[in-house]
Amino acid sequence: MNGRNMITVLAIGVFLVGVTAQAPAQQCGWLLGQDLPGTSGTVYATATWDPDGPGPEPEQLVVGGDFSTAGGVTVNYIARWDGTSWQPLGTGMDSTVWALTVYNGELIAGGYFTTAGGVTCNHIARWNGSAWQALGTGMNSNVYALTVYNGELIAGGNFTTAGGVTCRKIARWNGTSWQALGTGIAGSVPPNVNALTVYNSELIAGGNITTAGGVSCNNIARWNGTSWQALGTGMSGGGYPYVYALTVYNGELIAGGNFTTAGGVTVNYIARWDGTSWQPLGTGMDSTVWALTVYNGELIAGGNFTTAGGVTVNYIARWNGSVWQALGTGMSGTVRALTVYNGELIAAGAFTTAGGVTCNYIARWDGTSWQPLGTGMGYPGYESYCSVRALTVYNGNLIAAGAFTTAGGVTCNCIARWNGTAWQPLGTGMSYYTSLGTVDALTVYNGELIAGGYFTTADGVSCNYIARWNGTAWQPLGTGMSSTVLGLTLYNSELIAGGDFTTAGGVTVNYIARWDATSWQPLGTGMSGTPYHDVLALTVYNAELIAGGKFTTAGGVAVNRIARWDGTSWQSLGTGVSGPTNPYVCALTVYNGELIAGGFFTTAGGNVSAYSARWTCTGACCQPDRSCAVTTEAVCTGVWHGEWSSCNPNPCPRAGDFDADGDVDIEDFNALAACLAGCQQPLGQGCEPGDMDADGDVDLVDFAQFQRAFGQ
């Protein structure tokens, strides 16, 4: 994962699918296809920028995101449209761009990248029209939000320093240097600034925070140019109160999330700030609001709720300024994602109907009623396991992948594309010998769609667990792997794959390999161990590739389930993790400049560390208030001298949520199935999390309990 929040955040966005030059007659709207194929991956940020201000050059559209090409031109995560064609901005970035804005006539980009145009910039950079430049020495971790306030550039994220200055989670650039906004943002759980906006001449910051500038603010705060102030008493209630979404509607600030009160007033998961106090929007919802947007003059909210204002709405609702109304009759299950595509609102999740209309896991709202996207997805005979596991955008099409055999009634086998009108297969999809396979990972590399998972053929072509789609046909990447691909990432402009394979392209690689666009190559001598060796998780930290799994050596070096690759050799991270029997690392991310690891282990670097830990922690950790894997931060002081520190998480908050992603879904089912197949009686094979009834066995009783939790 890329580390943007360690919580599930469902966000409203726009997929950029194409732009064409202006025709002689006046025409408005987005046009699909024609001579602009769009970007090769998801667009996360857009901005308009005039390279010469009031000069003769026209304004340009700039897009940033997770793509390598635009219009077939190599651009590397950021591109500009000059009215005729896509152009790069220098050589682009080395990783994802999350945010864009314009400041002092220069284009500003923030994100996950550490270089721009080959220049070290550390998560934020400026484009002066001809070259990328750093803004001081940048940040020590990701930038998620950008805006301009009082003539200064404001950046928010999960960093703690900017330009070497302590700036917890938020900082300002005055044109010369980074400065803090008071003492910044803090919290008892991992505090992040995930959203920034300006309202009534004040800067608004939202996220999972408890103080700003030392002032209690409870998940939302305002900066008046001099000091931080609360917006009333902020948000509370809901178990773990967070603000997940912010927007402005009808001159008021709107906040949605997992809270039941705002300013001491009962609001139930959504509230409005009129400049003086928090007020409800009707009687609010009966559960979490994950997403907000404005569509056709109305406020749209999506989430895990079934009622809004006492009206049955089923996971999605609209506010017309006075009352909540359903969009049709809503959905039959949770809405997990919202976006706007081709001028329509798109919703996807664990539902089979929308507005009473059968839609099967995905639907579109045309302003009046819910409509299906074809007949959606299906898995005849195994309907309860049908799921979409991965989504991305490739060549202007929406790509959906997972465990299904049909899309729109068309046989597609695990992967399909929506062209705005109909579902189409990508070849004949994937299979595992004569049975249905699964696609577990998607990414875009060198302008091609990459899919990894549990399959041996794609479109009838032998691909062996990994394949690439060039826009026309599936092709192998060499001769593929000898077993399942479980993770994909990009490192040093190469595709990295991890899993339980020992060879890639016929070359011995031992559970991890790199693809240089021509052939598979090993990373040293790979991993080994007894009795298990798999690579289960991949990420990039401090310009090094980090691998986690079940292995105990990497490149012949003792590493104990986690290792780092510096581009030349494998090295350990302290003494790794251990205990109880057959421990493993199955989740990795980067937070607050530290590497976070989650899995099945009890010690890290010799310290007690129940199932999660962080690398290069400073000091003795305090008890966090929730987590079962990688979603909490402990507050520490002192130095551990490069060893792990304990985060001692509490038990998982949801039965059956083995991967701690907030949902009980097909990934958790796969984990339980592996336990049932590999270690029914007794325990001790690394499957203790599957023992739902705590009787010492992983058996059919646990499976029955899991069924009741599945999809809820």
In this predicted structure, the answer to whether residue 35 has a pLDDT above a threshold of 50 is no
More confident residue, 664 or 653: 664
What is the pLDDT, as a whole number, of residue 25?
Answer: 28
What is the pLDDT, as a whole number, of residue 507?
Answer: 93
Distance CA 120, CA 228 (A): 32
Model confidence over 445-476: pLDDT tens digits? 888 888 888 899 988 888 999 999 988 889 99
Q: Cβ contacts of residue 54 below 8 Å, gap of 6+?
A: none
Model confidence over 236-285: pLDDT tens digits? 887 778 877 777 889 899 888 888 998 889 999 999 999 889 999 999 99
User: H-type helices in 95-227, by residue range?
Assistant: none
CB 159 within 8 A of CB 141: yes
Confidence band, pLDDT 50/70/90 cuts, at residue 682? very low
CB 160 within 8 A of CB 592: yes
What is the pLDDT, as a whole number, of residue 109?
Answer: 94
Which DSSP state fits 690?
G
In this predicted structure, the answer to whether residue 93 has a pLDDT above a threshold of 70 is yes
What is the pLDDT, as a whole number, of residue 698?
Answer: 66
Half-sphere exposure of 241 (CA within 13 A, CB side): 22
Confidence band, pLDDT 50/70/90 cuts, at residue 615? low
In this predicted structure, the answer to whether residue 379 has a pLDDT above a threshold of 60 is yes
Distance CA 100, CA 80 (A): 12
Average pLDDT over residues 397-409: 79
239, two tokens: 């178990």
Chain centroid, CA 182 distance in Å: 29
More confident residue, 572 or 85: 572
The single residue listed with the structure tokens 């906006």 is: 197
What is the pLDDT, as a whole number, of residue 645?
Answer: 39
More confident residue, 108 or 538: 108
Buried b (16+ CB within 10 A) or exposed e, 472-508: eebebbbbbbbbbbbbbbbbeebbbbbbbbbbbbeee
- Judge residue 518's burial from the number of C-beta atoms within 10 Å of its C-beta, 0-12 exposed, 13-18 middle, 19 or more buried: exposed
Q: Indicate the range of 297-306, 401-410, 411-420, 668-677 predicted with least confidence.
A: 668-677
The span from the first CA to the last CA of the chain, in angstroms, equals: 24
In this predicted structure, the answer to whether residue 365 has a pLDDT above a threshold of 70 is yes
Q: Indicate the range of 345-349, 363-367, 424-428, 510-514 predicted with least confidence.
A: 345-349
Confidence band, pLDDT 50/70/90 cuts, at residue 352? confident
- Ramachandran sector of residue 669 (left: φ over 0; alpha: ψ -120 to 50; beta: rest): alpha
What is the pLDDT, as a whole number, of residue 21?
Answer: 27
Which DSSP state fits 421?
S
Number of residues in the chain: 712
Across the chain, mean pLDDT equals: 75
CB 126 within 8 A of CB 146: no
CB 223 within 8 A of CB 206: no
Q: Cβ contacts of residue 166 below 8 Å, gap of 6+?
A: 160, 180, 184
Confidence band, pLDDT 50/70/90 cuts, at residue 343? low
Kind and range of the H or E element at 337? Answer: strand 335-341
User: H-type helices in 25-173, by residue range?
Assistant: none
More confident residue, 704 or 558: 558
Average pLDDT over residues 350-377: 76
Kind and range of the H or E element at 471? Answer: none
Half-sphere exposure of 455 (CA within 13 A, CB side): 31
Which DSSP state fits 136?
T
Model confidence over 257-268: pLDDT tens digits? 888 998 889 999
What is the pLDDT, as a whole number, of residue 83?
Answer: 62
What is the pLDDT, as a whole number, of residue 19?
Answer: 29
Q: What percent of the chain has pLDDT over 70?
A: 69
- Ramachandran sector of residue 29 (left: φ over 0; alpha: ψ -120 to 50; beta: rest): left
> CA gyration radius for the chain?
25
Model confidence over 134-184: pLDDT tens digits? 999 999 998 888 888 988 999 988 899 999 999 999 999 999 999 999 988
Distance CA 202, CA 428 (A): 54
The single residue listed with the structure tokens 């950021």 is: 78
Most confident of 69-73, 375-379, 517-521: 517-521
More confident residue, 208 or 94: 94
CB atoms within 10 A of CB 70: 30
CB 523 within 8 A of CB 545: yes
Distance CA 306, CA 323 (A): 16
Confidence band, pLDDT 50/70/90 cuts, at residue 98? confident
In this predicted structure, the answer to whether residue 508 has a pLDDT above a threshold of 60 is yes
More confident residue, 196 or 570: 570
In this predicted structure, the answer to whether residue 632 has a pLDDT above a threshold of 50 is no
In this predicted structure, the answer to whether residue 670 has a pLDDT above a threshold of 50 is yes
- Judge residue 12's burial from the number of C-beta atoms within 10 Å of its C-beta, 0-12 exposed, 13-18 middle, 19 or more buried: buried
Confidence band, pLDDT 50/70/90 cuts, at residue 54? confident
In this predicted structure, the answer to whether residue 655 has a pLDDT above a threshold of 90 is no
In this predicted structure, the answer to whether residue 13 has a pLDDT above a threshold of 80 is no
- In degrees, rounded to 5, the angle at the alpha carbon of residue 194 between the alpha carbons of residues 190 and 198 is 135
Q: Indicate the range of 87-91, 129-133, 203-207, 359-363 predicted with least confidence.
A: 359-363
Average pLDDT over residues 60-73: 78
What is the pLDDT, as a whole number, of residue 684?
Answer: 36
193, two tokens: 């600034």
Q: Cβ contacts of residue 622 below 8 Å, gap of 6+?
A: 634, 635, 636
More confident residue, 113 or 678: 113
What is the pLDDT, as a whole number, of residue 619?
Answer: 29
Q: Indicate the range of 251-265, 305-319, 582-596 predicted with least confidence.
A: 582-596
Q: What percent of the chain has pLDDT over 90?
A: 21
More confident residue, 361 or 575: 575
The sign one gets for the Cα dihedral 655, 661, 666, 667 is: negative
pTM above 0.85, yes or no: no
More confident residue, 563 or 707: 563
In this predicted structure, the answer to whether residue 620 has a pLDDT above a threshold of 60 is no
Q: Please give the full DSSP string across 107-123, using - where no structure is assigned.
A: EEEEES-SEETTEE-SS
Chain centroid, CA 541 distance in Å: 16
Distance CA 183, CA 186 (A): 9
**Which residue from 26, 14, 2, 5 is spatially nearest to 541, judged by alpha carbons?**
2
- Beta strand 466-469 with 474-476 is antiparallel
Distance CA 115, CA 342 (A): 33
**Which residue from 132, 150, 42 is spatially nearest to 93, judged by alpha carbons?**
132
What is the pLDDT, as a whole number, of residue 495?
Answer: 93
Average pLDDT over residues 110-127: 94
Which DSSP state fits 437?
-
Confidence band, pLDDT 50/70/90 cuts, at residue 330? low
471-478 long-range contacts (CB < 8 A, ≥24 apart) are 471/395, 473/427, 474/426, 474/427, 477/450, 477/505, 477/515, 477/520, 478/504, 478/505, 478/506, 478/515, 478/519, 478/520
What is the pLDDT, as a whole number, of residue 485?
Answer: 86
What is the pLDDT, as a whole number, of residue 333?
Answer: 60
Distance CA 384, CA 101 (A): 44
Confidence band, pLDDT 50/70/90 cuts, at residue 402? confident
